[in-house]
């Protein structure tokens, strides 16, 4: 797949009981993008809302449980040149998509969103993260940087994009792997962002950070369990960065394939969006009862 300045987009939207949020957010996703909605066995009308608002969307039911499995299902179904990971809860601002695409078009393999961008004029921050989670993320982020030899500023953020041609380095758990309902396969949970970061980094891909503002979830409750999922992230770092994991044959082959065309990852912060993709609609989605942000 040749890379070019006007890539087609696949926006992967993992969603579990997000009907009310999707009603608000979906109309702001780029009309020309392929939307891949991966439903997590929702008990509300998530799927019906997507069918109504984006009849062109690809709608899947995930094969196991967990956000990681949902994303893996979405990645496998995507057909765009660029894959954008997009939370359905209203926390991801569709108007930031152009900045992610711009980073990729300018040469990155992966555009990694960060709420804690440093040294950039672009706005970054979070209206959603609690102090406890922020501290936990900072600690885990520091550990990841030591283990990977990187300078990332936000390990566990879900808003990221990458060229679809790097999917091969991820080696995510097989979608048809059957496990008992009470077990979660490693990589299927909220550790997915950490797993992606480790595998992209260890494969030598060029990763650019993109400043992002995480909005407050509009309706409903977070699915994240601070301690249990934080522990999964910690274990993921241990597993992915251990010398044995670094030597995995698949990882080595991928690293060799990418090494030829990517240099060692200089972290670049991407400023204001350029004109690559312009989502429709007014400046920012507005909830029926309150604005997403002032």
Binding site for ligand GTP (CB under 6 A): 14-16, 18, 38-40, 62, 65-67, 70, 87-89, 91, 128, 158, 190, 217, 222-224
**Whole-number minimum distance, CB 153 to ligand GTP, in Å?**
17
User: From Mg ion, ligand GTP, none, which one binds at residue 40 (CB under 5 to 8 Å depending on kind)?
Assistant: ligand GTP
**Whole-number minimum distance, CB 179 to ligand GTP, in Å?**
14
**Whole-number minimum distance, CB 68 to ligand GTP, in Å?**
8
User: From ligand GTP, Mg ion, none, which one binds at residue 239 (CB under 5 to 8 Å depending on kind)?
Assistant: none
Residue 194 interacts with Mg ion (CB under 5 A): yes or no: no
DSSP string, the chain: ----SS--EEEEEEESS-HHHHHHHGGGS-TTSEEEEEE---SSSHHHHHHHH-TT-EEEE-SSSSHHHHHHHHHHH--SSEEEE--SSS-S-GGGHHHHHHHHHTT-SEEEEESS--S-SS--EESS--HHHHHHHHHHHHHHHHHHT---S-TT---EEEEGGGGGGT-PPPTT----TT---TTSSTTHHHHHHHHHHHTT--EEEEE-EEPPP-SS-----HHHHHHHHHHHHHHHHSHHHHT-HHHHHHHHHHHTT--S----EE-S--SS----SSSS-B-SSSBS--
**Whole-number minimum distance, CB 101 to Mg ion, in Å?**
22
User: From Mg ion, ligand GTP, none, which one binds at residue 164 (CB under 5 to 8 Å depending on kind)?
Assistant: none
**Whole-number minimum distance, CB 161 to Mg ion, in Å?**
17
**Whole-number minimum distance, CB 41 to ligand GTP, in Å?**
8
Radius of gyration of the chain from Cα atoms? 18
Shorter beta-carbon distance to ligand GTP: residue 81 or 87: 87
Closest among 105, 96, 113, 97 to 33, alpha carbons compared: 97
Shorter beta-carbon distance to ligand GTP: residue 108 or 195: 195
Q: Which of residues 65-104 bind Mg ion (CB under 5 A)?
A: 89, 91
Shorter beta-carbon distance to ligand GTP: residue 64 or 199: 64
Taking CB atoms, the residue at the shortest distance from ligand GTP is 40
Shorter beta-carbon distance to Mg ion: residue 91 or 137: 91
Shorter beta-carbon distance to ligand GTP: residue 106 or 216: 216
> Residue numbers of the site for Mg ion (CB under 5 A)?
89, 91
């Amino acid at each position: 797949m040749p890379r070019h300045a006007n890539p087609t987009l696949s926006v992967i939207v993992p969603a579990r009981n997000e009907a009310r949020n999707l009603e608000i957010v979906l109309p702001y996703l780029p009309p020309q993008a392929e939307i891949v909605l991966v439903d997590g066995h929702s008990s509300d009308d998530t799927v019906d809302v997507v069918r109504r608002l984006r009849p062109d969307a690809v709608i899947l039911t995930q094969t196991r449980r967990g956000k990681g499995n949902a994303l893996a299902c979405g990645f496998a179904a995507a057909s765009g040149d660029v894959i954008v990971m997009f939370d359905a809860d209203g926390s991801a601002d569709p108007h930031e998509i152009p900045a992610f695409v711009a980073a990729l078009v300018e040469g990155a393999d992966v555009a990694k969103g960060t709420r804690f961008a440093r040294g950039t004029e672009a706005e970054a921050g979070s209206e959603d993260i609690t102090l406890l989670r922020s501290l936990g993320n900072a600690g885990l982020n520091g550990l990841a940087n030591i283990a990977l030899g990187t300078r990332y500023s936000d390990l566990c953020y879900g808003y990221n994009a990458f060229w679809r041609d790097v999917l091969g380095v991820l080696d995510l758990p097989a979608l048809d792997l059957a496990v008992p309902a009470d077990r979660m396969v490693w990589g299927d949970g909220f550790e997915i962002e950490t797993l992606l970061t480790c595998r992209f980094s260890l494969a030598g891909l060029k990763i650019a950070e993109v400043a992002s503002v995480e909005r407050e979830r509009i309706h409903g409750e977070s699915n994240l369990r601070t301690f249990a999922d934080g522990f999964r992230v910690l274990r993921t770092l241990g597993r992915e960065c251990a010398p044995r994991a670094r030597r995995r044959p698949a990882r080595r082959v991928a690293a060799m394939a990418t090494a030829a065309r990517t240099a060692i990852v200089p972290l670049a912060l991407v400023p204001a969006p350029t004109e690559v993709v312009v989502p429709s609609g007014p400046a920012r989605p507005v909830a029926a009862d309150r604005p997403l942000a002032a």
